[in-house]
Structure 1
Amino acid sequence: MKEVLSASEKQFKKWVVAVSIVVPLLVVLLFMYKIPNAKPLKFLPPIYASINGLTAIFLIVAVWAIKNGKKKLHQRLMTTCIVFSALFLIMYVAYHMTSQSTPFGGEGTVRYLYYFILLTHILLSVAVIPLVLITFSKGYLENYKAHRKWAKYTFPIWLYVAVTGVIVYLMISPYYQY
């Protein structure tokens, strides 16, 4: 049976589609552009890795909050996670627009593991954008049945992206040139 969308849900859907397409394309375009003569923002990687770590913690606490009937706390934590993700993205792009990419220096099995984690992190970070926006919009519009349905998929993917962001940073940090 096809879900009937309200006018508000249709409006959110348009925004979800637009943001889910524009953000990854904009990131790719900005990632390829280097700001001429810019001072490298080499202090950013540990900051945005920490933001990923905080996102993971807040996601877990948010699930605990809703399971314990703390709806307002859950809402605040999830909104904070979205803000954290936006801040991460801004800092990540700023770093890569001012600094050369750092090649991973590990060898053997650890190299394959690093690239597997990095690739899945990148692919799922693109996929999580519409998932987060859809899940958030369902909650915001008080369609809690649909919100819970979407959250079952969104939560583990978002958590994976947040945790692997920290892991990728920890694995490549020894190779940064400061």
Structure 2
Amino acid sequence: MKTTLKSSDRVAVPVIIGLSIAVPVIVLILMLLPERYNIFGTDTITFPLFHAILNFATAVLLIVGYFFMRIQNYVLHRNTMIAAFGLSAIFLVSYVLSKISNEPIPYGGEGILRYVYFFILVSHIVLSGIIVPLVLFTIYRGLSGEYEKHARIARWTFPIWLYVAITGVLVFLFMLPYY
């Protein structure tokens, strides 16, 4: 059986794929900048603290949104998940600005904590790249009323997005002594 794309898919799918490629590429390019421009005149800890707060709030909203889905309050589920998406979008813009503004700070921990930190950091970074298309497709399928597709992809999106949000906070806590 041949499936055809809906007319909205003809626009949404390429946009989602384009953003899913562009976001990690832009972040990588910004991380490799030879010079930083502290355009806001912020302290070294300002962006990381803000990012940790956004990640924590996103994790809470994800859990609350999951709860609303489980009790079949789909309006509150939708609104909560849109709020989590909004916080993640704010995080992404802020993260890009932080890469322009602040030099990277190396982790100074030693021993077993160093290995734990780098495991958390690497898994956080890898899954952060993967979560972009997952979130975009999950939100799109939910808002377009394709609930079966939404549910299938959300089974993967939710735990990965929650992990990325929680590990974002953990990375901040590990780095806190070095800011």
TM-score interval (norm. to shorter): over 0.9
1:93 deviates by 2.1
Distance between the aligned counterparts of 1:122 and 1:2, measured in 2? 37
> Which structure 1 residue ranges, 4+ long, deviate > 6 Å from structure 2?
none
Is the 8 Å Cα contact of residues 54 and 91 (structure 2) preserved in structure 1? yes
Does the aligned pair in 1 maintain the 2:36–2:103 contact within 8 Å? no
Shift of 1:12: 1.2
Name whichever of 11-20 and 119-128 sits farther off.
11-20
Does the aligned pair in 2 maintain the 1:41–1:95 contact within 8 Å?
A: no
Stretches of structure 1 lacking an aligned partner (at least 5 in a row): none
Q: How does 1:121-160 map to 2 (within 5 A)?
A: 121-160=124-163
Check whether the contact 2:38–2:100 (CA below 8 A) recurs between aligned residues: no
Residues 138 and 147, structure 1, Cα contact 8 Å, conserved in 2? yes
CA contact (8 A) 1:56 1:162 kept: yes
CA contact (8 A) 2:124 2:164 kept: yes
How many pairs does the alignment contain? 176
For 2:94, the equivalent position in structure 1 comes to 91
TM-score by length of 1: 0.92
Q: 1:86 to 1:41 in 2, by over 3 A?
A: farther
RMSD: 1.6
TM-score by length of 2: 0.92
Q: Which secondary structure state, in structure 1, belongs to the residue aligned with residue 79 of structure 2?
A: helix
Task: Provide the residue aligned with 1:24 in structure 2.
Answer: 24
TM-superposition CA deviations, 1:135-156 (whole Å, max 9, x none)? 1111111010010000000000
Corresponding letter in the other structure for 1:139: G
Name the SS of the counterpart of 1:102 in structure 2.
Answer: coil
